[in-house]
Amino acid sequence: MREIIFDTETTGLENRNDRIIEIGGVELINHFPTGNTIHFYINPGDRKVHPDALAVHGITDAFLTDKPPFAEVAPKIIEFFEGARWIAHNASFDMGFINAEFERLGLSPVPGEMVVDTLSMARRKHPMGPNTLDALCRRYGIDNSHRTKHGALLDAELLAEVYIEMIGGRQAAFGLTEDERQKQGTDEPEAGGPVEVAKRPRPLPSRLTAEECERHAALVASLGDKAIWSKYGSD
């Protein structure tokens, strides 16, 4: 299963008028990061960064002047997300901007069934909150000390760690998929069923020295015939 954990930064809060100025995404396969990422800064055209938004992410109008417009990076974004689930924290905000940008280009919106909102997940799992990204990092022991301002790729990387923890931690991806089980030549389900353990062709060498074995034997002998160690043979 392929998923993209992503985040956006924008010029403001209104997706009909404001624009995306940064997008960052992290690829997961079966809930494990692959190392593949996507990251773009985007020129919003004549739309200026609102002061309130600037205080959050620190991305200035001057910084964005030489960056490509959304129309230029859209094909790369679509290619990177192709076939994957779109996963974001407060996804309705990010998807509102993504779909508004797609609409301006005459592109189809992302289907709702392909979107996962980690904020909704966190509210169900931790109903007493708080469930901001920073709060969830603290809850799961994820180091976010380098997050002094919001940044799309950094936030996506942190959210990927949070998401993995929310769905059960690293063990969530240990089970084989159906295709993988068939490649391994077994139809046993992921949980339950007999497990055949192969015997070693040669026993592992003892980690005890001869001196330690002799000292242990002397100790057992000193305990008498009723010592529990006497019930164990030396075979």
- Taking residue 72's Cβ as centre, other Cβ atoms within 10 Å add up to 12
* Residue 152: closest CA among 97, 218, 221, 215: 97
- Using an 8 Å Cβ cutoff, are 220 and 227 in contact? yes
Look at residue 232 in the predicted model and tell me its pLDDT.
61
Q: Which residue has the tokens 């508004």?
A: 100
Instruction: Please name the amino acid found at residue 185.
Output: G
Segment 2-45, tens digit of pLDDT: 999 999 999 999 999 999 999 999 999 999 999 999 999 999 99
- The two beta strands, 115-117 and 85-88, are parallel
Look at residue 233 in the predicted model and tell me its pLDDT.
56
Does residue 150 have an active-site annotation? yes
Of 3.40.50.2300, 3.40.50.300, 3.30.420.10, 3.40.50.620, the CATH number of 2-183 is 3.30.420.10
Locate the domains of the chain by residue range.
2-183
Q: Let me know if 47 is exposed, middle or buried by CB neighbors in 10 A (0-12, 13-18, 19+).
A: middle
Look at residue 189 in the predicted model and tell me its pLDDT.
43
Residues 85 and 121: their CA atoms lie apart, in Å, by: 15
Catalytic residue chosen out of the listed positions 31, 57, 89, 150: 150
Please tell me the total number of residues recorded for the chain in this structure. Answer: 235
Segment 43-70, tens digit of pLDDT: 999 999 999 999 999 999 999 999 999 9
Which regions of the chain are under pLDDT 70? 170-200, 226-235
Look at residue 229 in the predicted model and tell me its pLDDT.
64
